[in-house]
Structure 1
Amino acid sequence: MKLYLTVLLMIFNVSIYSQNQFQQFINYVNSLPDPASKQTAVDSFIVYARTQGIPFITGDSANFIYRGNVSLISIAGDFNGWTPNWNMINLSGTNFWYYSKVFESDARLDYKFVRNGNDWILDPENPRQVIGGFGPNSELAMPDYVQPWEINYRSNISHGTIVNRTIYSTNVGAYYQLKIYLPPGYDSTSTERYPTVYFQDGFEYITLGNAVNVIDNLIDSNKINPVIAVFVKPNNRNEEYAGSLRVNYRLFFVNELVPYIDSNFKTIPSAEKRLVLGDSFGGNISALISYNHPEIFGYCGLHSGALWPNNYEAYNLIVNGPVKNIKWCSVWGTYEGSLPSNMRNFRDFLLQNNYQLNWEERHEGHSWGLWRATTDNMLLFFSPFEPNSVGSNNENIPDDFFLYQNFPNPFNPSTKISWRSSVGSWQTLKIFDVLGNEVATLVNEYREAGIYEVEFSNADTEQALSLPSGVYIYKLTADSPLSSLGQNFVSSKKMIIIK
């Protein structure tokens, strides 16, 4: 065993990011004289691969691996429309199966294995999973994919409160279940009022999209203003969002639900302070609601918005109708069939007609893995934090240092970088390429304790930059020793420029 492991390590240490690394292993096993030697080599490789992560990534290739006695094993996922037609290859003389495929460096995709044509299973060697509408899936995350920190529950922060309500709709003739998020510190007797976010597929945005965690974390980190969130559970999703009940449901939303929320909770009753958003068909009904009622909803969020039902009713209504006072946020994945083409056309129309639009296209599929990681896009666009001035008011002084993820990300041509500092210090914020070469200095000065934000533009004439597409690193350094850390503060994060 040690001999084979040593040989394997020699192979893989030659060029740890070499694209043909995995093929070298395959060639090596095929050169061995007997099944016992081959199986021992496979066992050694599995031990090594587990330390690197499976699927085993070499360069821009993901190498899917399965070990077991089967007659056929295939892969289905976001990348092939969930059709199990990627048949894995058996390494002769072993029970080792593999399939190699090139993906974008920042791709994130759901998949499953299918044994013997009908047994759908998770990848037993991959601990990373994403919960979807049909249960958990295994996750392929390429090296430049940045996992969403904001979806995780954090016990050391303040949390909002969820209250349950039921409302009857005379327009639809049905009861609807609601979960209403009230931000930390919410007081029904206070004069303070809040913006409101309405979620289609609301309960799934909580259970599958981690939306409550996202809101809690964004409020705690001063990324957004506190909001009230209304999570609405559909009764007959397809009919209410895209079928025969879509008009009734739209009227329920604007004539019954919004007045109910405004009269029972401390909302700001203004279109500029209301966002309606949804995924897939939920995006379709959100677009119909906002475009038909811009006096109620001034913001609309589309997570992979499926605007094609009823002969592209929502799409054609907006594209062929008058420009209205609506701000849009749209996110979609390149692995969503024909949807990316439709959403690019929709994006281009909105921009050409001077709609305010925040959009992002990711190398992902039609899944909650994409939507849960980009709910923050919608919220940041809708209600970005407005920091109070820092002075003799100690409540506004942060209690630690923190560097936030830039937004939007990926971006073209500009993005915003924000951070908080607990003490006054000399601070530098610099941009580097992946080789460590400095390409820009955004901040190099003494700053008091506070919350700060700067804009980085790849087309800024002062910076005279025109950086190529790719991954870059931004790094914040504060030279004042921090008592909690015992050292200077240094933090860096990845950002992606697209063109």
Structure 2
Amino acid sequence: MKKLLLLVLLPSITFAQFDFDGELRFFLTNSGSSWNVTIKLTAIGARWDANNYLTQEYEIISSGVSNPKYYIAFNHIKHPGINPAFAVGLYKISAIENGVEQAYFYMDWRTSYYCVNNEDPDVQFSYDVTNNIFLYNTLNINSSYQTFWNLTENLFITSGLENYWENCLVSLPIGGGHPNIYWGRHPFDDVEFEVDNYKIYRAVSSGLPPPNPNYTSIATVGSDIYSFIDYDFATGGPLSLQYRVTAVYEDLAESVYETIPTNSVLISGGLYKDYSEVDEKIEFYLSDNYPNPFNPTTTINYTIESSGLVILNIYDVLGTNVATLVNEIKEAGNHSVKFNAENLPSGIYFYELNAGGFVQTKKMNLMK
């Protein structure tokens, strides 16, 4: 009888390991017989507390795991629990082994919309210990930028965050050696006006930047684009560059206005003119599919900087490749492809563009 009782109890012990609290979770995979991994969250730029006020806290959060435990969890500040908490902000997420960063990606939680009751706020990743790879489902997300609103059902709304626009602009070192800036949706978009586009401004100086930089407009991007890579410059020279962004909108009389600019960012270390790409104004970009939600067809637009192999795949929520829309050589420029999901069930799907080292994933919703 004792042996039989032991057999009955063992399954409950095993399955209990999967029941743990946390809005940000990591499972270790391919870890071998022994492991010791620390997941570290480092805030990039401003962050907000549970009441959406700016805070100086929650700058660096970390938690370690070693065998036999194989998961790490963190709690969102708006849903506190037993694990280390992170704020509303943009974080660099790193895997540390023996004091050395082995892999990283960026995760953006900068939205004032955070639904706990009706929609799942959790985000779950895995970390391949042997190959030093962060994965979302089966997608390699190393050195990428991910967002809370693309990976969950939560919305991208910034109107509730204190002084968001004056604190949202950041620079991330994932532009292929070029300056790469990220901002976010203007807080008044669809609240007091509808944003038509965003304008990027740049100031160039030699050595230390002046107290009153001379900004000039260098680019305009669509209202659903919140990042920009400056291909006119590359990192590593004697110049300093400062960037800021404004939102452009029209009033009822169709008069055009610009908002106050975001905070400015300075690319540390100085930059130099990359003359091999001065005239190249095309950049990689994956647009939001339209319409979204859709039934059963939708259009995906994308731009590639240079000619080469382009792969555009569709995945379901389990990471299964359900369709390949593009797998061929494409010329530089703008492209468009339609996706027909008439043979697929309703649900959330992800589309991933892979071209010339550029990888980006976005979410779409099939509703039948």
Larger Rg: 1
TM-score class normalised by the smaller sequence: 0.3 to 0.5
Higher helix share: 1
TM-score, scaled to structure 2: 0.35
TM-score, scaled to structure 1: 0.27
